Amino acid sequence: MFNQDYPFECACGENFRMVHHARHCRKCRNYCVFGYCTHVTDLTTGQVVWGKEPTEEEYEAAARQYEIYLEMDRRDREREELEWKAAQAAEKAAVELAALELAEDQLWDIQDNWLLRAS
């Protein structure tokens, strides 16, 4: 059922040997809707040995808040991607413009050389 060497489970489900390790779980930042470890359960007895297990209402409120956070994060990433693409397009346009100006300058130089030879 569970490993006897790791009897303490944090809020995100990760198992640890000691309570103080479980209560500082780093995975809870990503896998728990609260963003931190809320409680630690002793798997041998099934009792909460640290913290307080959230109620259903608290969990639902945190889940809604987490969904809002994810949506804001998605929008920020999309905005940053659009800004990056716009910067890349502007840089490409600047390079192409510089190449066109160089070609035009070379054509003017050729024309000037012909005019000098003709006179």
Per-residue pLDDT reduced to its tens digit, 62-82: 999 999 999 999 999 999 999
Residue 60: phi and psi, rounded to 5, are -65, -40
Residue 109 included in any domain: no
Res. 115 pLDDT band, cuts 50 70 90 = confident
What's the total number of domains in the chain? 1
Confidence of residue 118 (pLDDT cuts 50, 70, 90): confident
38-to-24, 61, 98 alpha-carbon distances in Å: 10, 14, 59
| pLDDT in the model for residue 81 | 98
User: pLDDT digit string (tens) for 26-47?
Assistant: 999 888 999 899 999 999 999 9
Q: Does any domain span residue 77?
A: no
Handedness of CA 89, 93, 95, 96 (dihedral sign): positive
Nearest CA-CA partner of 54 in 34, 73, 30, 26: 34
- For the cut 80, the answer to whether the pLDDT of residue 95 exceeds it is yes
Average pLDDT value for residue range 94-107: 95
What pLDDT shows up at residue 112? 87
Residue 114 covered by a domain: no
Q: Does any domain span residue 20? A: yes
- Single pTM value for the model: 0.62
Taking CA atoms, 46 is separated from 7, 21, 75, 81, 90, in Å, by 10, 18, 40, 46, 60
Query: Structural domain of residue 4, as residue ranges?
Result: 1-54
Q: Report if residue 24 sits inside a domain.
A: yes
